[in-house]
A and B are shown apart, each in its own frame.
Chain A
């Protein structure tokens, strides 16, 4: 306790300086002034009102915050907004292109969710995973989707949905 109090005594209280960044989000250029302590996840949810990306742990443990950065899936809670200068980011809001993405349609068709809270992360993760091209079968899909927790337990339907899209030839 005492060490804690001493440590706190010297802690700075002034806010960290903001930095300008330019990020392309869902095809739109955004010029932002962000402080270095703002995660990409919080910037999306709190500053840009892109609340489709979910916060399930804020510690990289659940995958709910998965977005695509330059086409690769990452946990947006584990990266800072200031690090995204010049990047292209796709969130769940940008997955549909006029009509829903086949992965979104498959999720509805196979009822691959219940509460829907892990769903944007699952969908972004599934699209990112198929683009990586490492999953050749159901077992590998399950393994490579294991960074996305679904407390409702929709796993088997999620795999059905992904296999359907995969076998639809979109990613061969």
Chain B
């Protein structure tokens, strides 16, 4: 295959739709006689509903019906019917199941009215009487009660920590060079710009078309069919454009359940959108407390790694993530002790949020490594290179490829690292302390079975489809690039379609596995199509009859005999000669398990950060950052760079800005709006640079794709934290690093 488009900085094929406003998101399909829903949420964290007063709300002109646990139509009985592809072990939350309140903000009533304004107003007139019970929402007050997580299907993709090796505690104590820390992370919410919404179009008895905000149309299709007892083929879920998701769309959210319920009951089309406060009433990145104890010998070789994490989960599901497995994947150590525990609280189940576990664990790991380098009196880059490995020490398998050293080299050069004075508080610019810090990132390169279909039509156009998602990741664009190259066609003649459960199977889209999974499927479908083209050609033209597949070049939208024994035959001609005037191939892209299983497959990054810290006010500003990424083949440097830039902004946000703060008296978030949940704005983002160090890795998959969704984020928070240390001489291990925490530390006089 000639790579004419793969690897090129092609502009997004969905760009025009997005800049002209014609791209339609879930709440934007306006169908006739649409009814509007609005949800009422609980204001207590635990207890029972005694009474919901609906009279006044019901009297509002235009209100059609109000659903509560008392009158809602029945749905599936068994809990497993509610389990989606990303459900953790436990019992999924079922909206308005009974009078029990299990977290603050849980949906307890839904108004359906003729207009949005009527529904919203009526919702404000609902009052609720509760029988309140004592709740537990503060992880820090219950750390000693943490226990091991339950196992389930989800554990397959998220294995627990490996068994201990050697005597990590004892060796740590005896190590001449030691570093330890306690790392505290608050809760975070995904807050994509588009709020969750479902437009459910009632198509007749037991038949629905649903425009939903999701990272998996088939996941939602299965969920709706199972919960409401509908035939799969009667439920079509569409999600062509998703206004950001970051993991929040990996599970069906409650607006989908409620909108479908109302639509089936009323036999009407219904739209239900969340408001921004409600975006804080389902999954979140869990609060965690981590402890590290790393020890090295007197030449700086790491000999003991102790890392434990306690995360919160809900009372009904054991949400887990991979927090403590990373240190030993990056650094060899004969002694390791890795522990991961959960404490159930009266909160909504946590959910995967961009780089789940990695963004949490690597902060602790990479700050501890930085401290260890200081204790060993070594440069943090040199210290990491001394403890470098090409072997994943947790599985004792080699990495399929790992250009991390080159990442360090290129990023260090670009950043100018050699000019760094290692002494903390030694660099200044006017009244600001300057700090330079680094960190290493790692994320798994996964791949899941996915199907795609390739269709050639007589006008010489190719359409490839798969039920996968593009929530800003560039899937539309890179898949069209892959398909064009696989078929030897002009990109203008190729389109890729996604986000529709009627399309060939794709799993939920996340964990950085979409490009590799869907890319392999697209390649398989195009291969299938090429074989069919040859078969047809063999019947049409004598010169092709004897030809084998390998004798043909598929380029310029046609079949060319490599030995030039006859003229080429165009795809158009072949398709035109078929009865159906189309040629199709639907194929599964399988991960090559035989090849893959002997290796650990991962992406890596090296992040270099400069911060300015205002000594008087404790304000931290990231003035510049260089990220070098080794992530296999970069399909499109333009969209790939954007994805990494986005990860870097998320890293700045996680390190310095965002946290959902709970008032534990009520078990309720206090800053549940975009005014008070601080996200970086344009003025907060300065000089960001991205370097790709390409890897030629045929083990991950044929095309060498590893995925980019998470690797841009994971190393940024520790790199910033390490830079703040270099600037101020003090460690702030409690994220986000806000001015109040820095104020305590910035001046040595305090």
Contacts and interface: CB of A to CB of B under 8 A. Distances in A.
Given A11-B56, A49-B30, A116-B243, A111 B11 contact: yes
A120 B463 CA distance: 28
Contacts of B17: 116
B649 A56 contact: no
B242 A115 contact: yes
A116 B645 contact: no
A153 interface: yes
B398 interface: no
Contacts of B195: 55-56
Interface stretch (B529-537, B552-560, B680-688): B680-688
A159 interface: yes
B646 A116 contact: no
Given A13-B59, A116-B241, A54 B53 contact: no
Contacts of A117: 25, 192-194, 243-244
Given A37-B117, A52-B21, A119-B19, A46 B30 contact: yes
A26 to B, nearest CB: 11
Contacts of B242: 115
B473 A114 contact: yes
B682 A145 contact: yes
A62 interface: yes
Contact of B193 (A5, A56, A146): A56
Contacts of B685: 142, 153, 155-156
A51 B21 contact: yes
Contacts of A164: none
A154 B60 contact: no
Interface in B67-99: none
B15 interface: yes
A155 B117 contact: no
B472 interface: yes
B28 interface: yes
B676 to A, nearest CB: 9
B193 A115 contact: yes
B649 A59 contact: no
B638 interface: yes
B129 interface: yes
A113 B688 contact: no
A109 B10 CA distance: 9
Contacts of B649: 153, 155
Interface string B181-202: 0000000000111110000000
Contacts of A113: 15, 18-19, 472
A56 to B, nearest CB: 5
B471 interface: yes
A38 B117 contact: yes
A155 B646 CA distance: 9
Contact of A143 (B53, B116, B192, B683): B683
A107 B243 contact: no
Give the secondary structure class of A's interface: loop
A115 B648 CA distance: 16
Contact of A8 (B56, B118, B472, B682): B56
A9 interface: yes
Contacts, number: 203
B200 to A, nearest CB: 16
B11 A108 contact: yes
Contact of B646 (A61, A93, A109, A153): A153
A8 B673 CA distance: 25
B193 A42 contact: no
A92 B472 contact: no
Contact of A104 (B19, B62, B121, B642): B19
A54 to B, nearest CB: 7
Given A45-B28, A51-B21, A100-B19, A4 B127 contact: yes
Interface string B1-37: 0000000000110111111111111011010000000
A57 interface: yes
Contact of B15 (A13, A64, A108, A155): A108
Nearest to B20: A96
A134 to B, nearest CB: 14
A62 B674 CA distance: 7
Contact of A111 (B273, B641, B673): B641
A106 B12 CA distance: 12
Contacts of B125: 8, 11, 13
Interface in B641-687: 641-643, 645-650, 673-675, 679-685
A59 B19 contact: no
Interface in A87-145: 91-93, 95-96, 100, 104, 107-109, 111, 113-120, 123, 141-143, 145
A156 B125 CA distance: 44
- Among A61, A92, A117, A151, max chain B CB count under 10 A is at A151
Contacts of A158: 682
B61 interface: yes
A115 B117 contact: no
B275 interface: yes
Interface in A10-25: 11, 13-15
B639 interface: yes
Contact of A146 (B59, B191, B471, B682): B682
Interface string B103-135: 000000000000111100100110111000000
B276 interface: yes
A115 B192 contact: yes
Contacts of B24: 51
A64 B12 CA distance: 21
12 contacts: A15-B60, A54-B25, A61-B673, A62-B674, A92-B20, A108-B15, A114-B244, A115-B243, A141-B682, A146-B684, A151-B244, A153-B649
Interface of B: 11-12, 14-25, 27-28, 30, 53, 56, 59-62, 115-118, 121, 124-125, 127-129, 191-195, 241-246, 273, 275-276, 471-474, 638-639, 641-643, 645-650, 673-675, 679-685, 688
Given A61-B675, A116-B19, A141-B682, 12 more contacts: A1-B127, A9-B56, A57-B276, A59-B674, A61-B673, A64-B193, A108-B12, A114-B474, A117-B25, A117-B243, A155-B680, A155-B684
The 9 residue pairs across chains A and B that have the minimum distance between CB atoms: A52-B21, A153-B649, A117-B243, A114-B472, A116-B18, A115-B472, A92-B21, A51-B28, A153-B646
